[in-house]
Chains A and B, each alone.
Chain A
Amino acid sequence: MTIRSNAAQSTDAQSSAEALNVLMQSCGKGDRLAFEAMYHATSARLFGICLHYSGNRAEAEEVLQEVYIMAWLKASRFDPQLASAMTWLATMARNKAIDRRRARRPHDPLETLPELSTQDPIPDSLEREQQGSRLDRCLETLEEAQQRYIRVAFFEGYSYAELAERHGIALGTMKSWIRRGLLRLRLCLGL
């Protein structure tokens, strides 16, 4: 395998992102080839997200179908200046999978909700240093509990009440940690 510089990789990533934006805009004009190409280029990542958040293969597949159907129908409203196509799709997949899981058993005792990995999914420290996203750098400026539960909330996709119960922490404390953390994160990120 050819070794490539980080600069070349990031240029490639940018070109791919732009190509996906073009495909999404072509979908917005009704081009089915663009839609098929878009599906092939993004479906493994989106299915991974659906699986992660729904914890159930059959349901993840249904969610995936809904995401692409919705993407096709909403493609004319896609605005690349607001979000990249990949982010747009990935966010839609996450939201739909979470919605589905919550709607499936709204009154289930929390113990029976699918067990998602609570392990820290951050790549090893070297990789992390190289990738060093702004979000991770800003997160590191927060207090430990704030860092931990913002990550846990994101990767588990639970509401405040569910998080508090799952992790045996008072609801008020959980909310306070996450809210303070988010506000500091927002300042750090300049949002």
Chain B
Amino acid sequence: MNEHPLPPDETPDLLIAEYALGVLDREERDRVEAMIARDARHQRAVAQWQAQFAEWLGQVPASSPPAATWRRIEQRLFAGSSHPPSRASGWWNNLGLWRWTTAALAVGLLASVLTLQQPGSAPISGPALLARLEQSDGTTLFAATINPGSRSVLFVNTGRADWPGKSAEAWVIAADGKPRSLGVLPANASATLSVTPQLADLLASGAVLAVTLEPLNGSPNGQPTGPVVAQGKISSL
């Protein structure tokens, strides 16, 4: 196939592709960003290129950041708030206070964001449900996110979560007080657990999520047999 003549340098389509690839210099990039900011169609085109290139970014090897990074981020963002988020204190034990603080923060943050920019996020297809699973000493061990509209729960370990010779198993305990298994969690890694429609119905605000230690590959009899290492209530935002 013969080469087509090269179109003029400045066509928006080409500029957007070059922008997403990252080959433009500072000045050109500023120009393209200004162009994109004015046009929703261009924004979609950029996002489409970025989604394609995400495949390649996924090939870059992952590497754990230093442990102190998270604390630095927290400090830089929240150090000035009325309730400093010190991780070691009993502050997180107090769910009521935590909720209050979150709500206050949310209002404050939204107010400050709204003065800077227009709200533009699409609505979530249902209320987002989250649970903070704490150890008996009040430290958070897992954060669980329930996808509205999809039958799965994402468990993210926010602390060290491996027990040699044991498997951590996640459970939901609904109003009837009966624990039902959601599945076994991998050691020190986040995991998405798919659940049956019946179980999905139980993953509602007020239900409790818990993690117990079980023999490798999970409880042999479908009921928790080992100690509870973390638990927390599901709440909507």
Contacts and interface: CB of A to CB of B under 8 A. Distances in A.
Interface of A: 11-12, 15-16, 18-20, 22-23, 25-26, 28-34, 36-37, 39-41, 43-45, 47-49, 51-52, 61, 64-65, 68-69, 72-73, 76-84, 86-87, 90-91, 94-95, 98, 102, 121-123, 133-136, 150-151, 153-155, 157-161, 163, 176, 178-180, 182-183, 185-186, 189, 191
10 contacts: A23-B145, A36-B140, A40-B157, A43-B69, A45-B60, A78-B121, A81-B122, A87-B54, A91-B50, A158-B23
A155 B21 CA distance: 9
Contacts of B237: 26, 29, 31
A135 to B, nearest CB: 5
Interface string B88-106: 0000000000000011011
Interface stretch (B12-20, B165-173, B174-182, B221-229): B12-20
B24 interface: yes
A48 B147 contact: no
A49 B60 contact: yes
Contacts of B51: 83-84, 87
Interface in B114-173: 117, 119-122, 124, 128, 130, 132, 140, 143, 145-148, 150, 152-154, 156-158
B148 A61 contact: no
Contacts of B85: 32
B39 interface: no
A25 B57 contact: no
Query: Interface on chain A toward B: helix, strand, loop, or mixed SS?
Result: helix
A90 B56 CA distance: 11
B56 A80 contact: no
Contacts of B157: 40
Contacts of A29: 106, 110, 237
Contacts of A49: 57, 60
Contacts of B76: 65, 69
A159 B70 contact: no
A186 B66 CA distance: 39
Closest 8 pairs (CB-CB, A-B) = A30-B106, A19-B154, A37-B143, A15-B152, A47-B65, A182-B17, A87-B54, A48-B62
A25 B48 CA distance: 20
B77 A72 contact: yes
Nearest to A46: B65
B194 A64 contact: no
Nearest to B142: A37
Nearest to B151: A15
Nearest to B56: A154
Nearest to A12: B192
Contact of B22 (A36, A87, A95, A191): A95
Contacts of A48: 60-63
B35 interface: no
A161 B24 CA distance: 9
Given A32-B78, A37-B145, A191 B158 contact: no
A102 B143 CA distance: 37
Name the residue in A32, A64, A158 with the highest tally of chain B Cβ atoms < 10 Å from its Cβ: A32
B147 A180 contact: no
Contacts of B152: 15, 18-19
Contacts of A15: 147, 150, 152, 154, 192, 194
A39 to B, nearest CB: 6
A147 to B, nearest CB: 13
Contacts of A32: 78, 85, 102, 105
Contacts of A23: 145, 154
Contact of A25 (B22, B63, B119, B121): B121
A72 B150 CA distance: 25
Interface string B167-209: 0000000000000000000000010101000000000000000
